[in-house]
Structures are given as C-alpha cells and as structure tokens.
Amino acid sequence: MQLTNILATAITLCASGVFASTIDIAYTSNGAYYTQTVPSNSMTELGHPGNITTFQDTGNCFLYKYVGGETTYAPAGVHTFDPAVYTEYVLCETV
C-alpha cells in the first residue's frame, strides 16, 4: 500500500508546476509517509522530522540535521536513503 502512495505522489509531484514559488515534498519519516508544501529558498522545518528513508521533491532540496549542520542533497525526483538520513529542516529551490 505504501508503494502505491509513493508512486501516486511521485506522479503528482512531477505533474506540478515547475515555476511555482513553493515546492511539494513527500517523505517517509520513522516509517510513516507524509506530504508537505514548502516555500522555495527558505529554510523550513519538516512537519515530521526523523529518519528519512524515502524523499520525493519537485525542486532541488538540501536536507539538514539542524540549521547550519551538514546536508544531504536531493535533486528534483524520487530518492531512497539506505541508511536513513536524519532530517529536521529542508531548503529547496525551484529547478
């Protein structure tokens, strides 16, 4: 069931506007699946921070453990992290 949700969200994310001032993200945090819209070019706290294993985005995003900390880059698209990447904040930009 979760794979179906991930695929449906990925299709929706790919179909959304490229020139929007917001970025749509979807992620699996601590085993639960979430979606969120974040402003572009603005550090934003995740609604459900934790160990991220899947991440989908319509923009290029940087995943932060904490503000000013080390980052993980996730270009627009679908990503799987193994091992999981602990993330509290994201900074995304349009492509």
Domains of the chain: 2-93 (2.60.20)
pLDDT averaged over the chain?
89
52 or 67: which carries more pLDDT confidence?
52
User: Do you find a cis peptide bond into 83, omega within 30 degrees of 0?
Assistant: yes
pTM for the whole structure: 0.79
Per-residue pLDDT at 13 exceeds 80: no
Report the 10 Å Cβ neighbour count for 74: 24
